[in-house]
Structure 1
Amino acid sequence: MNIRVIADSSSNIFRFDGLDYHAVPLKIIFNGLEYPDVESLNAPALMHRIHESGGATSTSCPSIGDWMDAMEGADRILCMTISGQLSGAYNAALNAAVEYMDEHPGTQVHVVDSLSTGPEIRLGLERLKQDIEKEIPFDELSARLHRYFSGVHILFSLESLTNLSRGGRVSSAVAKIAGMIGLQFVGAGSAEGTIQMVGKCRGANRTRKLLLDTMSETGFDGGKVRISHCDNPTGAAALADAIRKVFRNCDVSIDECAGICSYYADLGGLIVAYETNTL
């Protein structure tokens, strides 16, 4: 039996070579219109439109039906979601798993809360592919993935906190101050799957230094680094170069944020995930 892997679109990944892979879209709601986070969405263009119009925005998670559609036809399924502290995607996937197994006796569906988003889910998918290729038993994959995530960290470099405040992820007062004084904020994913502030900086050089210092303090000494950016390829490349100069034996790659990560990272934002062990 084949193993199907499903992730929500916060992974920024819509195709994954070597996996039976499906992506389930979250949605951005702007001026009453719904924009599914699919591969064809021009996320930077949408973010520029949102900034220019100042219209009302929000987001929504995949429905139970969305998850079940992605499961259809598979016998063994592993789902990976954005942090359950940031979205209802995890709960929807759990409910879909129960319904799917009830409707398809003998199937197995496991759901993993990444407690994170974006490039950390990418690292999880890379590790999952390795385990599947090693023919690790399906029943062991979820536990191995949880152990792996315990040694992965995620950082955020954000030029705007507006959309995070709209979603209740940071206070509106903090977001307003950030916009007024032009600071960049560096945040980190917590063990509980929330975003915690690490510090604030003025200027790209100081922000990169804080990111590098935080990586070192949390145990990074070489290994995999995945960087996602929202319409900021120059900033992402500069950070990748700085990481390679400071740390040896790095495997650093860059991709673009898809819709939901672009919405929360906002224009200019960077999201960085990195390994501190490879359990």
Structure 2
Amino acid sequence: MSWAIIADSSCNLRSWTPTAPDTSFITVPLTIHVGGEEFVDDAQLDVAELNRKVAAEKEASSSSCPSAGTWADALRDADDIIVITISANLSGTYESAITARNIVLDEYTREHAGVIKGKNVHVVNSRAAGGKLELMVELLDRYLAQGARTFDDAVSYIEHIEERSSVLFSLSSFENLVKNGRMPRLAGSFASKFNIRMLGTASNEGTIKIVGPTRGEKKTIRKTVEHMASSGFHGGLVYIDHVDNEQGACALRDAIVEQWPSATVRIVPCGGLCSYYAEESGLIVGYEWA
């Protein structure tokens, strides 16, 4: 029996390898459209070049989700598959993956004389982006590595993790989020006008919810740690994604470890999609509070 953990490219793991036996990890890329050019958000993307093109482009740019056919190609090989997607309220990626799941299971049933046993696909709406997906991927891998698991066990586990984890966004620019309808225009305009960072989180529906403005790195870090504590974090796995802001990510990591010495903090550069929306110096923090 083979397993696959599959995420879209809002998960910023690119060269990551699972520790669980007979388990693969696959990233399905979204696409960013800038000035008539298409940038596929895969491991070959030059993220710095994408960011330069986005900054220089005066016309509106956008992103698009993977097609159902692209998803289906990723779903055909393994026996048991868990798919983790960006929030269904931020992208059509989740619905595209559900369509692909139905296509692949129908194919399998026809090829095996009406018997579906032996092929399982579950699609999880993360209600987030970035660090929360990375956290979910790693924790699922740890779970599978502990020993024999049924598919239903894995589904119950990953749904539990999705419900008991969260994401924070610390951003200094909001232009692309506002232009693409991912953030209220009033909040984005306020933050840009006064040149302040804005701390946001994911709502229960998987949309971006504003926590509040912050001024200066120290206040941003303090407010981030305070929000993590108030939402139930007491030490565990944390992912910090950054857009050309490793220094800020390291400072936040140090503050988290000082507050919770048992925390494990991983720092990851953003890929194309998260860089596009988080913009210059943005941070995305995924953490568990189970």
Give the unaligned 5+ runs of structure 2: 110-115
- Are 1:110 and 2:114 an aligned pair? no
Q: 1:120, CA displacement in angstroms?
A: 0.8
Distance in 2 (CA, whole Å) between partners of 1:48 and 1:200 is 26
- Contact kept, 8 Å, 1:44 with 1:267, in 2: the verdict is no
Distance in 2 (CA, whole Å) between partners of 1:238 and 1:51 is 26
- Are 1:128 and 2:140 an aligned pair? yes
> Which residue is 1:252 aligned to?
265
- Are 1:237 and 2:250 an aligned pair? yes
> Which residue is 2:5 aligned to?
5
- Contact kept, 8 Å, 1:31 with 1:57, in 2: the verdict is yes
What is the one-letter code of the residue matched to 1:4? A
Deviations 1:119-166, CA, capped at 9 Å, x for gaps: 111111111112222222012212211111222121010001111111
Deviations 1:220-279, CA, capped at 9 Å, x for gaps: 1211111000111111111111111222211111010101111111111001111111xx
Q: 1:21, CA displacement in angstroms?
A: 1.4
What is the one-letter code of the residue matched to 1:121? L
Q: 1:73, CA displacement in angstroms?
A: 2.5
- Contact kept, 8 Å, 1:226 with 1:273, in 2: the verdict is yes
- Contact kept, 8 Å, 2:7 with 2:27, in 1: the verdict is yes
Q: 1:2, CA displacement in angstroms?
A: 0.5
> Which residue is 2:229 aligned to?
216
> Which residue is 1:34 aligned to?
38
Deviations 1:188-223, CA, capped at 9 Å, x for gaps: 112221110000012111111111111111111211
Matches within 5 A, 1:1-279: 1-18=1-18, 19-105=23-109, 106=116, 107-133=119-145, 134-277=147-290
Q: 1:54, CA displacement in angstroms?
A: 2.6
Q: Count the aligned residue pairs.
A: 277
Three-state SS of the structure 2 residue aligned to 1:176 is: helix
Moved over 4 A (4+): none
Identity of aligned residues (%): 38
Alignment TM-score, normalising by the size of structure 1: 0.95
Distance in 1 (CA, whole Å) between partners of 2:57 and 2:182 is 22
Three-state SS of the structure 1 residue aligned to 2:4 is: strand
Three-state SS of the structure 1 residue aligned to 2:103 is: helix
- Contact kept, 8 Å, 1:221 with 1:248, in 2: the verdict is no
Alignment TM-score, normalising by the size of structure 2: 0.92
Three-state SS of the structure 1 residue aligned to 2:121 is: strand
